[in-house]
């Protein structure tokens, strides 16, 4: 039995078409999801540090 494939082609470059198996598609989506989660975590940590710094500045300026 053949694997289902997910295909897409760029409208700007119709001759450039790629086919992925369902396993490859799942792997690609997991990689993208992991990177997004990592970026979100990094941004949350930066925000937390900014809040902590702002809190210290307010506390020391009083």
How far apart (Å, rounded) are the C-alpha atoms in residues 19 and 60?
A: 59
pLDDT band at 49 (very low <50, low <70, confident <90, very high): very high
Instruction: Please state the domain extents for the chain.
Output: 36-62
Q: Which tens digits make up the pLDDT trace of 8-46?
A: 555 666 666 677 889 999 999 999 999 999 999 999 999
Please tell me the predicted confidence (pLDDT) of residue 19: 79
Please tell me the predicted confidence (pLDDT) of residue 15: 64
Is residue 2 within 8 A of residue 21, CB to CB? The reply is no
**For the residues 46-52, what does the mean pLDDT come to?**
94
How far apart (Å, rounded) are the C-alpha atoms in residues 18 and 28?
A: 13
What Cα–Cα distance (Å) separates residue 2 from each residue in 8, 22, 45, 51, 59? 18, 11, 45, 54, 65
Reported pTM:
0.57
């Amino acid at each position: 039995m053949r694997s289902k494939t997910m295909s897409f082609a760029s409208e700007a470059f119709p001759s450039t078409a790629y086919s992925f198996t369902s396993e490859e598609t799942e792997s690609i989506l997991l990689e993208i999801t992991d990177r997004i989660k990592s970026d979100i975590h990094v941004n949350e940590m930066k925000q937390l540090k900014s809040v902590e710094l702002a809190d210290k500045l307010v506390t020391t300026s009083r």
